Structure 1
Amino acid sequence: MRDDYIKEAQKVITDPNILVNVVSRRVKQLRHGNRPLVESLEKLNLEDIALREIIEGKISYEIGE
């Protein structure tokens, strides 16, 4: 994973545990054939795609009770 993407994503999701869970869940979705919500000219791994989606506000999350 790219450090600059991690730092930017941490500005959106400040809790590191939640960030890891959101990225993990999104990577699973991408592995199962879901299309990326962002476009890139460079080849990104699935973790970086998930981080870019968070940075660009394409992914939201809710905390259950």
Structure 2
Amino acid sequence: MNSIFIEEASKVATDPQVLINMVSKRVRQLSAGSRPMVSVEGRMGLADIALAEIAQGRLVVSKPENGEEPQE
């Protein structure tokens, strides 16, 4: 993983556990065949793509309401 992507994504998703969960879920989606929502440059791994999507605001977390599970 590229540390620059991590730093940029950390500015968007400030809670580390939420960031980990977002990246994990998105990596699973990408490995299952989902198309990246950002342009892939060079040798970006799936985690780098997920972090870039978060950093660019393509993936967002909605805050839970009334104790519901958060939606990504």
Is the structural similarity TM-score above 0.5? yes
Question: Larger Rg: 1 or 2?
Answer: 2
| Matched residue, 2:16 | 16
The Cα RMSD (Å) is: 1.0
| Matched residue, 1:29 | 29
Give 5+ residue unaligned stretches, structure 2. 68-72
TM-score, normalised on structure 1? 0.92
Deviations 1:18-64 (A, max 9, x none): 00000000000001100000012312000000000001111111243
Map 1:19-58; keep pairs closer than 5 Å.
19-58=19-58
32-41 vs 47-56, greater mean Cα deviation: 32-41
4+ residue segments displaced more than 6 Å: none
The number of residues matched between the two structures is: 65
* Residues in 2 aligned to 1:5 and 1:48: alpha-carbon distance in whole angstroms: 6
